[in-house]
Amino acid sequence: MQLVKPLSATNREKLKTALHKSGLEVMNDKKAMMIEKIINIIVEMVHYSDELPKVNFSVFLQEKMNLDYHKMAEIFSKTKGVTIEHFILLHKVERIKELITYDKLNLTEISYKMHYSSVANLSRQFKQITGLTPSYFKSLSQRERINLEDL
């Protein structure tokens, strides 16, 4: 949202305080806004779309953001302490955990849905991140998942 005219310092502080009480914050740093938008695109893409894009994630983000991917990646890494690729991988693993927990798809279907070339590739990345194989994760009675906000 953009204001018609700038807020006075007093009104800006009042707005900031009111938003903070609601768990929100004023973002006036362009880099922070860009990172937040990247995060929202990744979360939407991995967790809430029926199918991941057919194109490379870097191409997808570049088209969505209309910015140079390398510049975005550099700023994202410096700010978040993790690469965009690793951030996406963390979210994909959480989505895979979710799909395993729902138990509606088998691993072959999950690997296809999540655009892995094989179940072996999915299993390798899953184990790299979690330390567990997808099959072992499925057998656990208590399946730990990470809140999306904590990734």
Cα dihedral value 115, 109, 123, 128, nearest 10: 50
Residue 45 pLDDT > 70, yes or no?
yes
pLDDT at 145 over 70: no
CA-based end-to-end distance of the chain: 26
Tokens, residue 4: 């018609």
Q: Model pTM?
A: 0.76
8 Å CB contact between 69 and 58: yes
**pLDDT tens for each residue of 6-32:** 878 888 788 878 877 887 666 567 888
Digit-coded pLDDT (tens) for 70-119: 999 999 999 899 999 999 999 999 999 999 998 889 999 999 999 899 99
Highest mean pLDDT among 1-15, 39-53, 56-70: 56-70
Delineate the domains of the chain, giving CATH numbers in brackets: 29-146 (1.10.10.60)
Distance of alpha carbon 140 from alpha carbon 32, whole angstroms: 38
> Which tops the pLDDT comparison, 85 or 145?
85
